[in-house]
Chains A and B, each alone.
Chain A
Amino acid sequence: DGGITQSPKYLFRKEGQNVTLSCEQNLNHDAMYWYRQDPGQGLRLIYYSQIVNDFQKGDIAEGYSVSREKKESFPLTVTSAQKNPTAFYLCAALGTAPRNTEAFFGQGTRLTVV
């Protein structure tokens, strides 16, 4: 099946640890995105990448880092500098023409700091 796969589904992190969330797509889409969702709030953009080896900060990039070494993969690292990392994280990829304004989402990773 084609789509976007996020892993793990649930992740627990101790204070002061870095953790990496995986996002893989087999849709051959160029652009990929990471969003954060907090309870009762909409999604906010963390980072995005429009092409391999290039990425830009979104609205809430502080405490996060990303890489885009392959078209299929866009991992997100939540560093110890992120003061409140407990949230639901969603990865997305932008479709290609004619659906090149539609974002396809993974099933999300729920991160909890313990």
Chain B
Amino acid sequence: AQKVTQAQTEISVVEKEDVTLDCVYETRDTTYYLFWYKQPPSGELVFLIRRNSFDEQNEISGRYSWNFQKSTSSFNFTITASQVVDSAVYFCALSGGSSNTGKLIFGQGTTLQVKP
């Protein structure tokens, strides 16, 4: 069975601090995809990144970076120099398998509050 665990329910930081959101996944598939989505108060999910199981290169996009480690089944997300606008719920998700129907398995989400 596939599962995504985000152990951190809520995180509160002060602006300009760095913060890492943890994501651990379980799957028996050899081909799969991992995602991070941001959900601002408006409710819409905003796509942040996709990583496939064959690409373990870490990625940096501005203040955002992602650390994918297959050995520990983790796909952690770091925000450097956090800003108030980063306050949102962040979801890690998993999809894939031989059928690749596109179904997403979500973690419970981590609520990030960045205080000024």
Residues of A bordering B, CB below 8 Å: 31, 33, 35, 40-45, 48, 50, 56, 58, 88, 90, 92, 94, 100-108, 110
Contacts and interface: CB of A to CB of B under 8 A. Distances in A.
Contacts of B91: 42-43
A33 to B, nearest CB: 7
A42 B43 contact: no
A42 B109 contact: yes
Nearest to B109: A42
B107 A108 contact: no
26 contacts: A31-B102, A33-B103, A33-B104, A40-B9, A41-B109, A42-B4, A42-B91, A42-B106, A43-B106, A44-B106, A48-B103, A56-B101, A58-B103, A88-B43, A92-B45, A94-B102, A102-B35, A102-B47, A103-B35, A103-B45, A103-B47, A103-B102, A106-B44, A107-B42, A108-B44, A110-B43
Given A43-B91, A103-B35, 18 more contacts: A33-B104, A35-B104, A35-B106, A40-B9, A42-B4, A42-B91, A42-B108, A43-B45, A45-B103, A50-B101, A92-B104, A94-B102, A101-B50, A101-B100, A103-B102, A105-B37, A105-B45, A107-B43
Main secondary structure of the interface of A (DSSP, over half): strand
Nearest to B47: A102
B43 A108 contact: yes
Nearest to B92: A42
Given A41-B108, A43-B104, A50-B101, A102 B43 contact: no
A40 B95 CA distance: 21
Nearest to A31: B102
Contacts of B35: 102-103
B64 interface: no
B61 to A, nearest CB: 15
